[in-house]
Amino acid sequence: MRVSTRTRYGMRLMMQLAAVYDNHQVFLKDIARAENVSEKYLSQIVIPLRVSGLINSFRGAHGGYALARSPAQITLREIVVALEGNLYLLNCAKTPERCDRSSACVTRALWNELGEMIAGWLEMKTLADLMNHAFCCAAEENSYVI
């Protein structure tokens, strides 16, 4: 199983917004610079995050992006689903009628169960948990990187 670049960068974007949650909005160009990611690429990532209600966008001189809810109220599952579309490990798990072997497939239940475990774990973890982990790791290593 692989996590897409879109999800990796989206998670980093969300962490940047979580880091300044109580203060103000952040310009996408500032996040792009901090994360060393193309602003154009991030502009594509913010669309599904905004549509999913995870972030808000503000226009004007004091505009930018901000989390729609507190980091403690945003699960990692919400972020991954917004960016990936689903958490199915196999296409046939989502639409078994597309595979003529799905009814006799011995491993289909295994992959579905594993997908459910991953989804459950991501549902238990919040953006605040991820930030706390980042701060703990940074304290141990005397550095901080989101």
Report which of residues 121 and 136 the model is more confident about.
Answer: 121
Is position 146 within any domain? no
Is position 69 within any domain? yes
Report the pLDDT value the prediction gives residue 80, as an integer from 0 to 100.
Answer: 95
Report the pLDDT value the prediction gives residue 12, as an integer from 0 to 100.
Answer: 95
Is position 88 within any domain? yes
CATH code of the domain covering residue 130: 1.10.10.10
pLDDT at 145 over 60: no
Is position 109 within any domain? yes
Residue 68: give the domain boundaries.
Answer: 5-141
Report which of residues 144 and 29 the model is more confident about.
Answer: 29
Report the pLDDT value the prediction gives residue 141, as an integer from 0 to 100.
Answer: 55
Report the pLDDT value the prediction gives residue 15, as an integer from 0 to 100.
Answer: 94
Report the pLDDT value the prediction gives residue 132, as an integer from 0 to 100.
Answer: 86
Report which of residues 140 and 32 the model is more confident about.
Answer: 32
Report the pLDDT value the prediction gives residue 29, as an integer from 0 to 100.
Answer: 93
Total domains in the chain come to 1
Report the pLDDT value the prediction gives residue 100, as an integer from 0 to 100.
Answer: 77
DSSP secondary structure string for all residues of the chain: ----HHHHHHHHHHHHHHHTTTT--B-HHHHHHHHT--HHHHHHHHHHHHHTTSEEEE-STT-EEEESS-GGG-BHHHHHHHHHS---SSHHHH-GGG-TTTTT-SSHHHHHHHHHHHHHHHHH-BHHHHHHHHHHHHHHHT----
pLDDT at 136 over 70: no
Cα–Cα dist 93/115, whole Å: 9
